[in-house]
A and B are shown apart, each in its own frame.
Chain A
Amino acid sequence: MSFTAFYKRNLGFYKLAIASNLEYRLNFFMDAMLQPSITSIVEMVLWMAIFKGAQATTIGGFEQNYYLAYALWATFIARATVNWTYEFKMIEEIDQGTINGLLVRPMNYYEYYLSQLLGYKSITTGFSLLFPVVIILSTQLPTDWSRFPAAMLLVFYYLFFVYSISFCIASLAFFFNKVNSLTVTKNLAMWLLTGELFPLDLMPEAIRKVFLLMPFSSGVYVPVGFLTGRIGWDALWQGFISVTLGILFFSVLGALLWRKGMKAYVGTGA
């Protein structure tokens, strides 16, 4: 199979996700802009209340502005690095047998949704990041713009890791019905492990070290902490390494689950 055919096909999937999402304008606007904007405003207000209540100028060694910048970026970056839309879709397709229409095509199911996820995230993230960018520029909250490209590179690299986990969970649908609950549980755990809930440096040192070694922290804490000056380049590189190991682990697991799952598949529903 030639690389050109592979590239053209995946570019097609990438564009398909963009076209499909832009089809529903209200949903797109709510998903990409309104929901994360409201969440970030709530979190920023919460941090202001915490600082006011604590009557302190710093918490964990950082001033209020650092927390506001973190809350603002974290909400939008977390949106960019979560994948429940396609995970739910994959689970449903396997559950209901609508995957049949895709399995008889000369393509790979893994690449089909990976390319779509990248397409969907490119368009939603590109659009939604306008909000924090405008807020940061107008309020001078701490952000090192020179670090922005590297931080975003890690964010998009992390998507491969997130997708590998999604693929494993979706493959479980070959064996169990209704595995959607696993997605919800995983997302709750990610909420804490990524640092979306609060910056990981507020955790006890030992726990923080363990969390930083895991790839999950590269979903929010590492890129946002790096962008807002809480952590340096060494943490970013470590992020790339742990994400790479995570991708390898979940890709191998996903391939095994898929192979076993296809053997067990009965194609119900079609």
Chain B
Amino acid sequence: MSDKFQYVIETEDLGRSFLTYKKSEGLINSIKGFWNRETIEKVALHKTNLKIEPGQIVGLVGANGAGKTTLLKLLSGLISPTTGYAKVLGYEPFQRNPQYLKRISLLLGQKNQLWWDITPLDSYALLAKIYDLDEMKAASRVQDLAKILDCTHVLETQLRRLSLGERMKMEIIGSLLHEPDVLFLDEPTIGLDIVAQETIRHFLSSYVKNKGPTVILTSHYMDDITSLAARLLLISKGSLVYDGTVPGFIAKTELIQTVTYKIKDAPEMKEEVKKSQLNEFLVQLSSMGQIENIKIEETDFEDVIHSFLQKESRLL
């Protein structure tokens, strides 16, 4: 159904601020604050314009408190905007129309969304009722997804007795049970070991290839972004600072490369060189003597984003 829209997600000047009160240090200020509180407005997300086409996988990256989760909450209808509007699948998210909610899914990596005291199978049966699904089909879908995620053996164990990795697999099945058109994934691999991260990454990658939902993914693990997302949104201090492809971002950034070299009769050296100056550096190096060994390493994507955000936060 999402192919009816040119853009599945569209926002115009979408922003959110909230009021909080200033709490100065000390007991006297606590007493003062009891009757006189200074309210301050904090902008969590500045006016944001965004257009996302059907089937796109968008990686949303930023530091803690940058506004990533606020954007996801606005798009999933959890909170209301203070400026502008958003349209997702033609719906205004904050209206929380049941027909809209049936077509989206929000997976919060840091929160349990299934029921703690019952087994995942019981949770899925309840979800099938909530989403008004054919119960037989839903049950068979659970088995299919559990097989792919290799977690069939824990379906009948209460959620509270499962490990973090198993719980996350269960949450993923729960969020995909109704085959959403739009998936909001907030840190789906957080806290998991490398093997579990890889399993979930692989699963999500093949799922989106097969089913083609539109996905917005936030993660602190850059492997999640590079292996899943075609488009990258970088957010810093509540503002979008980059919107484009991952390779485009790398090309835009002045990359630093690490050159490790050994010249005859000299100790091994290591230097960081800007990519644009690499040729010049190599010419200089060859004139210094006979090169016995040389290794040029690309900077990690995570480091690139990190330095980009650092630079941005100094500018903002």
By a beta-carbon cutoff of 8 Å, the part of chain A in contact with chain B is: 1-2, 5, 8-9, 11-13, 16, 19-20, 23-24, 97-98, 100-101, 103-107, 262-263, 265-267, 270
Query: Which chain B residues lie closer than 8 Å to A5 at the CB level?
Result: 129, 132
How many angstroms from the CA of A107 to the CA of B122 in the assembled complex?
18
How many angstroms from the CA of A8 to the CA of B125 in the assembled complex?
11
By DSSP majority rule, is chain B's interface helix, strand, loop, or mixed?
mixed
Q: How far is the CB of B174 from chain A (nearest CB, A)?
A: 10
Say whether B131 contacts A16, CB under 8 Å: no
Query: Which chain B residues lie closer than 8 Å to A105 at the CB level?
Result: 101, 127, 130-131
Task: Say which residue of A107, A263, A267 sits within 8 Å of B73 (CB atoms).
Answer: A267
Interface status of B219 (Cβ within 8 A of chain A): no
Interface status of B108 (Cβ within 8 A of chain A): yes
How many angstroms from the CA of A262 to the CA of B79 in the assembled complex?
7
Say whether B106 contacts A100, CB under 8 Å: yes
- A12-B129, A16-B118, A106-B130 known; A265+B79 contact, CB < 8 A: yes
Task: Say which residue of B78, B105, B118 sits within 8 Å of A100 (CB atoms).
Answer: B78
Query: Which chain A residues lie closer than 8 Å to B73 at the CB level?
Result: 100, 267
Query: Which chain B residues lie closer than 8 Å to A270 at the CB level?
Result: 69, 108, 110-111, 186
Given contacts A9-B132, A19-B118, 10 further A-B contacts (CB under 8 A): A8-B129, A8-B132, A16-B118, A23-B118, A23-B158, A24-B117, A100-B108, A104-B106, A263-B80, A266-B18
Closest to B74 in A: A267
- A5-B132, A9-B129, A23-B158 known; A98+B118 contact, CB < 8 A: no
Query: Which chain B residues lie closer than 8 Å to A2 at the CB level?
Result: 132
12 chain-A/chain-B pairs, Cβ below 8 angstroms = A8-B129, A16-B115, A20-B118, A23-B158, A98-B111, A100-B78, A101-B106, A103-B78, A105-B130, A105-B131, A263-B80, A270-B186
Interface status of B113 (Cβ within 8 A of chain A): yes
Digitize B79-118: 1 where CB-to-A-CB distance is under 8 Å, 0 elsewhere: 1100000000000000010110110111010111101011
Task: Say which residue of B77, B96, B98, B127 sits within 8 Å of A1 (CB atoms).
Answer: B98
Query: Which chain A residues lie closer than 8 Å to B127 at the CB level?
Result: 105
Q: How far is the CB of A123 from chain B (nearest CB, A)?
A: 14
Q: How far is the CB of B212 from chain A (nearest CB, A)?
A: 21
Closest to B20 in A: A266
Closest to B79 in A: A267
Top 6 A-B pairs, shortest CB-CB distance: A101-B113, A106-B98, A106-B101, A12-B129, A20-B117, A5-B132
- A9-B130, A267-B79, A270-B69 known; A106+B102 contact, CB < 8 A: yes
Say whether A104 contacts B105, CB under 8 Å: yes
Interface status of B76 (Cβ within 8 A of chain A): yes
How many angstroms from the CA of A23 to the CA of B159 in the assembled complex?
12
Interface status of B151 (Cβ within 8 A of chain A): no
Q: How far is the CB of B5 from chain A (nearest CB, A)?
A: 20
Q: How far is the CB of A83 from chain B (nearest CB, A)?
A: 19
Task: Say which residue of B101, B115, B125, B158 sits within 8 Å of A104 (CB atoms).
Answer: B101
Say whether A262 contacts B108, CB under 8 Å: no
Closest to B17 in A: A266
Say whether B113 contacts A16, CB under 8 Å: no
Closest to A5 in B: B132
Q: How far is the CB of B135 from chain A (nearest CB, A)?
A: 9
How many angstroms from the CA of A20 to the CA of B117 in the assembled complex?
6
Interface status of B126 (Cβ within 8 A of chain A): yes
Closest to A262 in B: B80
Say whether B112 contacts A104, CB under 8 Å: no
How many angstroms from the CA of A104 to the CA of B180 in the assembled complex?
12
How many angstroms from the CA of A58 to the CA of B132 in the assembled complex?
59
How many angstroms from the CA of A1 to the CA of B97 in the assembled complex?
11
B173-220 residues at the A interface, CB under 8 angstroms: 186
Q: How far is the CB of B185 from chain A (nearest CB, A)?
A: 13
B108-160 residues at the A interface, CB under 8 angstroms: 108, 110-113, 115, 117-118, 122, 125-127, 129-132, 158
Closest to A268 in B: B18
Task: Say which residue of A1, A9, A20, A100 sits within 8 Å of B115 (CB atoms).
Answer: A20
How many angstroms from the CA of A267 to the CA of B101 in the assembled complex?
17
Closest to B114 in A: A101
